[in-house]
Amino acid sequence: MRKYLHINLRDRSVKTDELHGEDIIRVGRHFIAKTLLKSGAATVDPLSPENPLIFSAGPFAGTNFSNANRISVGCKSPLTGGIKEANSGGTFGFALGQIETAGLTLYGASSEWVVIRITKEGAISFDGAEAYLGKGNNDAAALLFENYGKKISFALCGPVGEYLGLVSGIAFADTDGRPSRLSARGGVGAVMGSKKVKAIVADVHKMPTFHDRKKLMGAVREYGARLAKEPAIDSFKRVGTAAMGDFTNRIGGLPVRNFSAGRLVEASQGPLKLGGDYIRELNMSRGGQTAHACMPGCLIECSNVYVDAKGQELVSPLEYETLGLMGSNCGLDDPDDVARLNGVANDLGVDTIEVGATLGVLMEAGQGAFGDLGFMMQAMEDMRCGNERGRLLAQGTARVGAHYKVARVPVIKGQGISAYDPRVVEVTGISMMLTAQGADHTAGNVPALNCKGKSTEELVAVSLEAQIVTAAADSLGLCIFGRSVTNVSAELVVTALNDAHGTSLDTSFIQTLGLEALRMEWEFNKAAGLTEDDDELPAFFYTEALAPSGKTARHHSAQVNRRLRELLA
């Protein structure tokens, strides 16, 4: 059994449901889509009290099942106007699992800023949040630990979320207590801010009960053993996600200076300093850490702790998407610079993809020069203090582009495009077009497929397959970086689910779960008023040849959607 908490912020009442069997399993992205669709949230103002904010933990939450403790956050996105599920690592999903709680929904809005406290005994209180307001996330997190003890985890709305900045995410504590793991995308932090909930604090307690714990633990060991044998996992552990930078730079799909080039460094010019190999060597030589787990039990350990020349921590983690969007996309080439900016972004609790895309557009508008670190730092500090310019920048790429009348604005459905230029990384580009989530690469990332000679129809089929397995992972609390094992271990995963919760699912369940989630998300977006036209890439991707490949985008929304409908029929 797991509890599910319905928290009404208007009168501070709490209704608790008891969940059993499949209701504990169909969670995360699937549960969010189902709940939001049913509640009619598609037509509400996303920053009004009528937009529910959902936190949903996976069926294995609270255990040491590797990469199975993600937390999904869902609501109608104030950035895209469509559905949003933004999931994160860290310890909050683990903590909810440990107090036998599958998740919670926040309804309405509080009249005063509050910290919601959930204890291991099941008590729920609403504490004053005055002391935390306006603080950076690092100071706010330190105060939460001081006030509630070390055996907690939390979800935290940062200072930009407080004033409803659409670049704001929700921060969660990592395994060392840093508030550095974010449900970053889509403006979920602004929705938390609109409810005046500064933080949710949950106790870390003990392994929750399961139908057959012994068998489940056997599956945990077997999944771990399969990870250990997998070369892709070894690369994550040694180099982290930054390895992707070496690859996209090589194939010419890295965002450079507001997506105006696809390669930052030629092979003859030496190593890409924003790439995984260079960063690993530099960081190790300085005494930094690779193979860091953001969630308890994760054996993939793709995270890192990046330090400066004196061995002082600059940020944890330093990841590919940030290196791409806040780095090469803004004309930077030094990982120390990106790490410093990343540290500030984490303290503000903002999405580094959206902020990097926004700053690139700002530079394109002539407001600052590409590569000007001081300009970028000042923009971040404007966001921190919430002055007029800061509040404008905090509205994200599309709105800043419209404000400065910039022609080249890299967004889909109002959300900044991730670090995969869709002219070159074509399947990921199609996934970013088709997903209801906005330009989100994680929805169906297939960066390494050679697309040469392949038709739009063929590539849409590849994208859909990736989108289904990703949606399933996101609906089970699984980190997608384990996909090389998860995707070929349906029997193991489904048996583990049955052992955990006494169900009788068969292996087709995974595919069904993912496809159902996608169908509901598309239905939500349709009800919210989004159309196929919103899936089209910005015009410049079709008209500007990207150096050095010379490629232009060749997939249009109408054709992509026609093929999708055929595949779904």
> Per-residue contact track with ligand SF4, 153 to 172, x per CB under 6 A?
--------------------
By three-state DSSP, how is residue 303 classified? strand
Q: How far is CA 378 from the centre of its chain?
A: 25
Between 300 and 494, name the residue whose CB sits nearer to ligand SF4. 300
**Minimal distance, residue 302 CB to ligand SF4, in Å:** 3
Between 49 and 447, name the residue whose CB sits nearer to ligand SF4. 447
**Minimal distance, residue 65 CB to ligand SF4, in Å:** 11
Between 155 and 430, name the residue whose CB sits nearer to ligand SF4. 155
Query: Is 481 an interacting residue with respect to ligand SF4 (CB under 6 A)?
Result: yes
**Strand pairing partners for 313?**
307
Q: How far is CA 344 from the centre of its chain?
A: 18
User: Which positions ≥6 away from 421 have C-beta within 8 Å?
Assistant: 248, 252, 253, 254, 255, 259, 262, 429, 541, 546
By three-state DSSP, how is residue 33 classified? helix
- Tokens encoding 441: 């690469």
Residue 394, number of CB atoms within 10 A of its CB = 30
**Minimal distance, residue 204 CB to ligand SF4, in Å:** 17
Measured between alpha carbons, how far is 27 from 39 in angstroms, rounded to an integer? Answer: 16
Measured between alpha carbons, how far is 41 from 225 in angstroms, rounded to an integer? Answer: 42
Closest Cα to residue 494, out of 22, 1, 92?
22
Among 109, 201, 302, 560, binds ligand SF4 (CB under 6 A): 302
Query: Is 479 an interacting residue with respect to ligand SF4 (CB under 6 A)?
Result: yes
Query: Is 300 an interacting residue with respect to ligand SF4 (CB under 6 A)?
Result: yes
User: Which residues ranging from 49 to 68 are in contact with ligand SF4 (CB under 6 A)?
Assistant: 67
Query: Is 437 an interacting residue with respect to ligand SF4 (CB under 6 A)?
Result: no
Between 294 and 472, name the residue whose CB sits nearer to ligand SF4. 294
Q: How many CA atoms lie within 13 A of 146 on its CB side?
A: 8
Measured between alpha carbons, how far is 562 from 546 in angstroms, rounded to an integer? Answer: 27
Among 91, 180, 258, 303, binds ligand SF4 (CB under 6 A): 303
The span of 109-117, 243-251, 292-300, 408-416 binding ligand SF4 (CB under 6 A) equals 292-300
User: Which residues ranging from 202 to 231 are in contact with ligand SF4 (CB under 6 A)?
Assistant: none
Between 198 and 292, name the residue whose CB sits nearer to ligand SF4. 292
> Per-residue contact track with ligand SF4, 19 to 48, x per CB under 6 A?
------------------------------
**Minimal distance, residue 241 CB to ligand SF4, in Å:** 8
Cα-Cα end-to-end distance for the chain: 37
Measured between alpha carbons, how far is 23 from 30 in angstroms, rounded to an integer? Answer: 11
Q: State the sign of the Cα–Cα–Cα–Cα dihedral 217, 218, 221, 223.
A: negative
Phi (first) and psi of residue 268, to 5 degrees = -70, -15
Helix segments in 394-507, DSSP class H:
397-403, 426-434, 456-474, 483-486, 490-501
The span of 184-192, 290-298, 444-452, 557-565 binding ligand SF4 (CB under 6 A) equals 290-298
Between 110 and 290, name the residue whose CB sits nearer to ligand SF4. 290
The span of 146-154, 189-197, 297-305, 446-454 binding ligand SF4 (CB under 6 A) equals 297-305
Among 170, 192, 298, 380, binds ligand SF4 (CB under 6 A): 298
The span of 301-309, 356-364, 371-379, 410-418 binding ligand SF4 (CB under 6 A) equals 301-309
Query: Is 293 an interacting residue with respect to ligand SF4 (CB under 6 A)?
Result: yes
**Minimal distance, residue 60 CB to ligand SF4, in Å:** 12
Query: Is 446 an interacting residue with respect to ligand SF4 (CB under 6 A)?
Result: no
The residue assigned the tokens 């029997």 is: 491
**Minimal distance, residue 356 CB to ligand SF4, in Å:** 19
Among 89, 93, 208, 422, binds ligand SF4 (CB under 6 A): 89
Residue 461, number of CB atoms within 10 A of its CB = 18
Between 91 and 137, name the residue whose CB sits nearer to ligand SF4. 91
Query: Is 258 an interacting residue with respect to ligand SF4 (CB under 6 A)?
Result: no
Burial class (CB in 10 A: 0-12, 13-18, 19+), 3: middle
Number of residues that bind ligand SF4 (CB under 6 A): 12
Between 220 and 400, name the residue whose CB sits nearer to ligand SF4. 220
Query: Is 295 an interacting residue with respect to ligand SF4 (CB under 6 A)?
Result: yes
Query: Is 265 an interacting residue with respect to ligand SF4 (CB under 6 A)?
Result: no
DSSP letter for each residue of 314-373: EES---HHHIIIIIGGGT---HHHHHHHHHHHHHHTB-HHHHHHHHHHHHHTTSS-TT-H
The span of 48-56, 293-301, 383-391, 527-535 binding ligand SF4 (CB under 6 A) equals 293-301
Q: How many CA atoms lie within 13 A of 340 on its CB side?
A: 14
Query: Is 294 an interacting residue with respect to ligand SF4 (CB under 6 A)?
Result: yes
The span of 214-222, 295-303, 380-388, 495-503 binding ligand SF4 (CB under 6 A) equals 295-303
Burial class (CB in 10 A: 0-12, 13-18, 19+), 327: buried
**Minimal distance, residue 150 CB to ligand SF4, in Å:** 21
Closest Cα to residue 537, out of 413, 387, 450?
413
Chain contacts with ligand SF4 (rule: CB under 6 A): 67, 89, 293-295, 298, 300-303, 479, 481
